Amino acid sequence: MNFFHYLKDKRNFFILNMIIMFFVSLMMIVSTDSRNAISNIVYTNMVIFFIVAIYVIIEYYYNREFYRELNDLVESNHEEFLATLPKPRNDEQLLYLELLKKVNSVHGDQLQKLYNEKMDHQDFITSWIHEVKVPIAAGRLLMENSNGRTVEYLVDKFEDELDRIENYVEQALYYSRIDSFSKDYFISEVVLDQVAKNSVKKYAKSFINKQIRFHMDNIEQVVHTDSKWLGFIIDQVFSNSLKYTGEGGEISVQFEEDRKEKRLQIQDTGIGIKPEDISRVFEKGFTGFIGRSHAKSTGLGLYLAKEMAIKLGHDLSIHSEDGKYTKVIIHFPKIRNYYHL
């Protein structure tokens, strides 16, 4: 900041000084002898102008180094500029520097958040590509080894692989919509048993092939939610249950209610979850012991289900005993302001 710019910034101070001097001069005219009034006014104004000029010049040179260092930082491309900020000369400068640090901190947090989201997205895409290549490769192997196979057998196997691809594509679609959730949902009264039955129909072939029994209580209960997003959540729970429940097992659906909430419980007689893994099953990409023993585990289904449940104002919890059962509970709080979702 040069001296001219500094004077420009002090224009309000000069205007105030001129108003004060005009008032002083006016008072001197009306209260003193008119013969000496003019000379006294001129003398007083010159002395005060000299004092003000000295004050402004001293203050400029006192703060000049601060403004010069600040200007050098503005013109430089130094990334760690906060470490080289000049020392403040007064409380006003200190306040501005603190504000600058806070703005930089908020900006840094936003950049870190965007970077983390980008890395998460990249990790998801990489994982998704590897997963979707498996059923594609399986389909190619079926074509290459189709000799001696019946058409019904090949169609059945191809249908299985297409179902897996469809599930992965659906996961990617809903994953891409998480950030824009507020533009893509409609809260209404939804009948739970209808949504659950639609999911069972979707996986009917898996139930039949693995001879898994299905039992559902009479749950003609109504909850406030988005039917499409809730359907995806239930789909992911059924997909996990079918994946880790052996032949001849059972999957059951029950409903509970109390004063605070309604609960939809989906329980299977599968391999269960180890105690050390139960607290992390909703983390993205976490597969735990199951992921190491089952190559088809992606660790994305329950993560997406949990995220969407929270965005809908619901919640998801899980209870399990290793080797015996797994129970996933969807919680529907009764008191919820959906306009704030």
- Residues 114-133 have pLDDT tens digits of 898 888 888 888 888 888 88
- Residue 254 burial by CB count (10 A; 0-12/13-18/19+): exposed, middle or buried? middle
Q: Where are the alpha helices (DSSP H) in 178-219?
A: 192-202, 204-209
Q: What is the reported pLDDT for 330?
A: 94
In which residue ranges of the chain is pLDDT below 70? 1-3, 30-36, 77-84, 89, 180-184, 219, 285-299, 335-341
Strand 213-216 relative to strand 250-257, pairing = parallel
Contact status, residue 184 vs residue 223, Cβ threshold 8 Å: no
Q: What is the reported pLDDT for 155?
A: 87
CA 110 to CA 84: how far, in whole Å? 22
Q: What is the reported pLDDT for 292?
A: 46
pLDDT in tens, 261-314: 999 999 999 988 888 888 888 887 666 555 444 545 556 788 889 988 988 889
Q: What is the reported pLDDT for 332?
A: 92
CA distances for 193 relative to 187, 205, 216, 217, 221, angstroms: 17, 19, 8, 9, 7
User: Is the full-model pTM beyond 0.75?
Assistant: no
Q: What is the reported pLDDT for 156?
A: 85
**CA 115 centroid distance within chain:** 12
- Number of H helices and number of E strands within the chain? 10, 7
